[in-house]
Amino acid sequence: MSRRAPRKRSGRSERRRGLVVTEGTVTEPQYLQLLKQAMPRSIASFTVCGEGTDPLRVVKRAVKEQAKSDHDWVVCLVDRDEHQTLEEAFELARKHGIRVLVSNPCFDVWLLWHFKDWTRHSDSKKLQTELKDLNASREKQEKHLSSSFPVKQYREAYTRARRAEANQIGPNPSSGMPVLLDLLEGIIPRSDG
């Protein structure tokens, strides 16, 4: 009886695992779970943790989670809003090889790019009104995305987005979400801080 030759591994690299810690505790985690379902299984391997409050606290939570896990990369999603702790959050993140991805003014601009191009300087209220008019959120639970939210349009959002690189504040409107998509698709290295 002859033994079978071992199977050759494909040239593809192993799926890398990530951790995404978000400032939002409802919309961002819900969106990321929908994104995970919409992306090919071969690339969408990440855990989501909604922290709330401010950017520095989000990064501190990411540092804590990073220390007790074996994730290949860690990202924090925060809003620009009027936070006073962004620079301090960037500094702490750099020390630990964590990327802070900022949406300016807020994550809602990323959601809006799933529907249409948006280049106007805006505040959170204006973006929420636009999303409500597009039926992006549930009627009585504005922070929850509607069941018909077009998450599969993430590539269109990527194309429309004014990209903000990691650990910096981009113009209004902009988002660091394209950096996260590049990480998921293996386009950028896992830890360049």
DSSP sequence for 67-118: HTS--SEEEEEEE-TT-S-HHHHHHHHHHTT-EEEEEBS-THHHHHTTTS--
Higher pLDDT, 66 or 43: 66
* pLDDT confidence bin for 2, thresholds 50/70/90: very low
Task: Identify whether 58 is part of a domain.
Answer: yes
Both tokens of residue 133? 């008019």
Q: Print the domain residue range for 125.
A: 18-185
* pLDDT confidence bin for 125, thresholds 50/70/90: very high
Task: Identify whether 2 is part of a domain.
Answer: no
Task: Identify whether 11 is part of a domain.
Answer: no
Alpha carbons 121 and 99: distance in angstroms, whole number: 25
Task: Identify whether 9 is part of a domain.
Answer: no
Task: Identify whether 7 is part of a domain.
Answer: no
Task: Identify whether 193 is part of a domain.
Answer: no
Omega within 30 of 0 (cis) for the link into 189: no
Task: Identify whether 13 is part of a domain.
Answer: no
pLDDT at 10 over 50: no
Domains of the chain: total: 1
| Spatial contact of 103 and 176, defined as CB atoms under 8 Å apart | yes
Alpha carbons 161 and 175: distance in angstroms, whole number: 7
Q: Which residues contact 93 (CB under 8 A, 6 or more apart)?
A: 59, 62, 76, 99, 100, 167, 193
Both tokens of residue 28? 């961002």
Q: Letter for the amino acid at 128? A: Q
pTM for the whole thing? 0.86
pLDDT at 56 over 60: yes
Alpha carbons 76 and 53: distance in angstroms, whole number: 13
Task: Identify whether 6 is part of a domain.
Answer: no
